[in-house]
Chains A and B, each alone.
Chain A
Amino acid sequence: MSAFPTYGPDDIAALDEQAAAMLAVFAGRGYTRHEPAILQPAQIFIDRSGEEIRRRTFELSDPSGRELCLRPDLTIPTCQWQVESGRPYPARLCYHGLAFRHRLGGGPTQFYQAGAELLGLEDRATGDVEMMTVAVGALRAAGLEKFEMKIGDLGLFATLVDALDVPAQWRGRLKRHFWRSGYFETLLTRMVTGAASDAERAIDALHGLKPAELRPAIEALLDKEGDAPLGMRTREEIVERLMVQASDGTAPKLDAKVAETVKQVLDVSGPAPTALEQIRTLTKAVAASMEKPLAAMEARLAALAGLGVDPKSVRFVAHFGRNLEYYTGFVFEFWSRDESGPVEIAGGGRYDTLLESLGGPRGATAIGCAIRSERLLAAARRGK
């Protein structure tokens, strides 16, 4: 498809009909339609999605110098509207509209998205099932019968890392980077060899101090720098990080066996029921912690079976986390195939920190999905 597509009458009619069918499914579940502005302030996307999304976002500025962008997705502005409107939770919102992304390898820079967001429903398990039901329903309403489903859970890996006996800062790093293949493996290796000894000079100076002596010693180190600038990063942030590092001890090492287990878990990929059993076996040492997320995934599979999606046909991929950085837990994608290979039709998942970061209620949950209209139309046509 061209980078600047023109939609002819047949395409427009087909896209309209498809959108109406999907929006009807959303409406039937109580989702109300909202249409955020196409032109958005750039800031909320930059602060929420990071530079990786930013390099694919069309940015521009108005004559007064305000930074704007063409919305790269509709989730963030939809959530922002919910927060600012002060409406009650849980909220069910849906949309159908254009989104814009740079395509680094060519391809269309604008595309239609239909999506639904379930915001602030406390019971996550219920929310997960509802969103899968809505997504599968919308795809079928658009005439797509055959699709492949891929699922993952960022929470499952976070639980595993939390159960590991490693310094707190490392846990944070492992969780942040697990989806970066290549970089993550390097990080693990550094931890095993003990090469990850950070700001050693400062830490060495603090080594062997009693907890009560730590803070004054760190304050003294900082005072030596005089009035050097800090940016917005506060003195307290520096003190806290050094306290944690100093009490973790110098240059800790990660047990090679633990690193191997982490790698093996991340390599798990295959038919969901088998994959979950593999993870259960690999993580036997921390079984008590892992049981909850594994059982939650099995419950989702049971729900999919109820929707007529055979769990054995669903692929569970342990390292699947999507590159949109705001996802936090259960994630899913729907795929089809064309002449050139697999095509992602829809994707979604849980992003339980976004609402709070936009100023919403503390701990407000969120799960949503977005469907790529043009790709869905092409896939549904192929199926006929």
Chain B
Amino acid sequence: MMADPLTLAIPSKGRLKEQVDAHFAAAGVALKQTAGARGYRATVEGLPGIDVMLLSASEIASALVGGDVHLGVTGEDLIRENAPELDGRVALLKPLGFGFADVVVAVPRAWIDVSTMADLDDACAAFAHRHRRRLRIATKYAQLTRRFFAHAGISDYRIVGSAGATEGAPTAGTAEAIVDITTTGSTLKANGLKVLDDGVILRSQAQLAMSITADWTEAMRGSAGVLLKRLGATLPA
């Protein structure tokens, strides 16, 4: 019987998938689709013992944190949303130089009295006092938001979950401000929002990451070592 394979999770769709494919190809790591797996499974040519799984970027982050895969490529923002301080569960092995996105706090541009987190704190407190309810922050990054706001000393707010198009929440009236990713800021601008001066929570990019909580055998460490060497990274001792 064959030993359990090392599992590597990579994005299954979108711009990130294209960039990962190109990066792997340039490093001489060629992926071969597994027959009958409908594009959700692959192997690495010349490196047996590695099972490649194609998952959504957010699934990869939770699989890394949960120990369901050994290695993965996904956005640091998604990894930290699942494990804010990495918590000894995930190790970031190599920033890949693409997939750049900042997780930021953005408020309506018309809030001309608010340009810092301290201003937002005042605005939140005044809002809670006047409206008898908390100012709403729309985000899919609840963990990152809570930590950042706690650090900034802001407590008079509430998070409303957002599945997509977070930047439209203030216009739609479902939130007053947002925490979301931005690359150029143009989407925020188009929606009448501005990033706070000290409102950058995380400067994120795609990361090659390792799950510390996954079950690792010596054989797996061996396979991982060869793969990582090609990708210009090493396995932590």
Q: Are A229 and B170 in contact (CB under 8 A)?
A: yes
Q: Could you tell me the distance in whole angstroms from the C-beta of B13 to the nearest C-beta in chain A?
A: 28
Q: Are A51 and B158 in contact (CB under 8 A)?
A: yes
Residues of B with C-beta under 8 A to A190: 118
The 8 A CB mask of B185-226 against A (1 = contact, 0 = none) is 000000111000000000000000000000000000000000
Residues of B with C-beta under 8 A to A227: 192
A212 lies within 8 A of chain B by Cβ: no
Q: Are A199 and B155 in contact (CB under 8 A)?
A: no
In angstroms, Cα B136 to Cα A172, docked, is 20
Dominant secondary structure at the B interface: mixed
Q: Out of A54, A172, A229, name the residue touching B122 (CB < 8 Å).
A: A172
Contact residues, B131-164 vs A (CB, 8 A): 131-136, 146, 149-153, 155-159
The 8 A CB mask of A236-256 against B (1 = contact, 0 = none) is 011011100100000000000
A202 lies within 8 A of chain B by Cβ: yes
Q: Are B155 and A225 in contact (CB under 8 A)?
A: no
Q: Could you tell me the distance in whole angstroms from the C-beta of A58 to the nearest C-beta in chain B?
A: 15
Q: Are A222 and B116 in contact (CB under 8 A)?
A: no
Q: Are A202 and B155 in contact (CB under 8 A)?
A: no
Q: Could you tell me the distance in whole angstroms from the C-beta of B84 to the nearest C-beta in chain A?
A: 11
Q: Are B113 and A202 in contact (CB under 8 A)?
A: yes
Q: Are A221 and B112 in contact (CB under 8 A)?
A: yes
B83 lies within 8 A of chain A by Cβ: no
Q: Out of B112, B115, B146, B177, name the residue touching A231 (CB < 8 Å).
A: B177
B176 lies within 8 A of chain A by Cβ: yes
Q: Are A233 and B176 in contact (CB under 8 A)?
A: yes
Of A132-140, A158-166, A176-184, A262-270, the one contacting chain B is: A176-184
In angstroms, Cα B176 to Cα A52, docked, is 20
A173 lies within 8 A of chain B by Cβ: yes
Q: Are B131 and A232 in contact (CB under 8 A)?
A: yes
In angstroms, Cα B158 to Cα A173, docked, is 19
Residues of A with C-beta under 8 A to B121: 173, 176
Closest to A227 in B: B192
A214 lies within 8 A of chain B by Cβ: no
Of B32-40, B73-81, B103-111, the one contacting chain A is: B103-111
Q: Are B113 and A199 in contact (CB under 8 A)?
A: yes
Residues of A with C-beta under 8 A to B126: 237, 240-241
B123 lies within 8 A of chain A by Cβ: yes
Q: Out of B118, B146, B193, name the residue touching A55 (CB < 8 Å).
A: B146
Residues of A with C-beta under 8 A to B135: 231-233
A50 lies within 8 A of chain B by Cβ: yes
Q: Are B112 and A238 in contact (CB under 8 A)?
A: yes
In angstroms, Cα B43 to Cα A139, docked, is 66
Q: Out of A51, A173, A183, A241, name the residue touching B146 (CB < 8 Å).
A: A51
In angstroms, Cα B176 to Cα A325, docked, is 22
The 8 A CB mask of A196-236 against B (1 = contact, 0 = none) is 10111110000000000000000001100101111111010
A187 lies within 8 A of chain B by Cβ: yes
B125 lies within 8 A of chain A by Cβ: yes
Given contacts A183-B153, A202-B113, contact A241 B123 (CB under 8 A): yes
Q: Residues of A within 8 Å of B, CB-based: how many?
A: 42
Kindly count the residue-residue contacts between A and B in the assembled complex, taking CB atoms under 8 Å apart.
Answer: 126
Residues of A with C-beta under 8 A to B193: 229
In angstroms, Cα B115 to Cα A242, docked, is 12
In angstroms, Cα B121 to Cα A225, docked, is 22
Q: Could you tell me the distance in whole angstroms from the C-beta of B170 to the nearest C-beta in chain A?
A: 4
Residues of A with C-beta under 8 A to B156: 50, 176
Q: Are A201 and B115 in contact (CB under 8 A)?
A: yes
Residues of A with C-beta under 8 A to B155: 50-52, 176, 325
In angstroms, Cα B121 to Cα A383, docked, is 46
Q: Could you tell me the distance in whole angstroms from the C-beta of B89 to the nearest C-beta in chain A?
A: 15
Q: Are A200 and B153 in contact (CB under 8 A)?
A: no
In angstroms, Cα B115 to Cα A154, docked, is 30
Q: Could you tell me the distance in whole angstroms from the C-beta of A361 to the nearest C-beta in chain B?
A: 14
Closest to A176 in B: B125
B15 lies within 8 A of chain A by Cβ: no
Residues of B with C-beta under 8 A to A176: 121, 125, 153, 155-156
Q: Could you tell me the distance in whole angstroms from the C-beta of A200 to the nearest C-beta in chain B?
A: 7
In angstroms, Cα B114 to Cα A169, docked, is 13
Given contacts A55-B146, A222-B112, A241-B113, contact A230 B122 (CB under 8 A): no
Residues of B with C-beta under 8 A to A260: none
Q: Could you tell me the distance in whole angstroms from the C-beta of A179 to the nearest C-beta in chain B?
A: 10
B119 lies within 8 A of chain A by Cβ: yes
Q: Out of B114, B118, B153, B157, name the residue touching A180 (CB < 8 Å).
A: B153
Closest 4 CB pairs between A and B?
A231-B176, A228-B192, A228-B110, A225-B110
Can you sample 30 A-B contacts with CB below 8 Å? A50-B157, A51-B149, A51-B155, A52-B146, A55-B146, A169-B122, A176-B121, A176-B125, A198-B114, A198-B118, A201-B115, A202-B113, A222-B112, A225-B112, A228-B108, A228-B192, A229-B110, A229-B192, A231-B108, A231-B176, A231-B177, A233-B123, A237-B126, A237-B130, A238-B112, A238-B113, A241-B113, A241-B126, A245-B113, A325-B155
Inter-chain pairs besides A198-B114, A199-B116, A241-B122, 5 sampled, C-beta below 8 Å: A50-B156, A199-B114, A231-B108, A233-B127, A237-B127
A residues bordering B, Cβ < 8 Å? 46-47, 50-52, 54-55, 169, 172-173, 176-177, 180, 183-184, 187, 190, 196, 198-202, 221-222, 225, 227-233, 235, 237-238, 240-242, 245, 325, 357
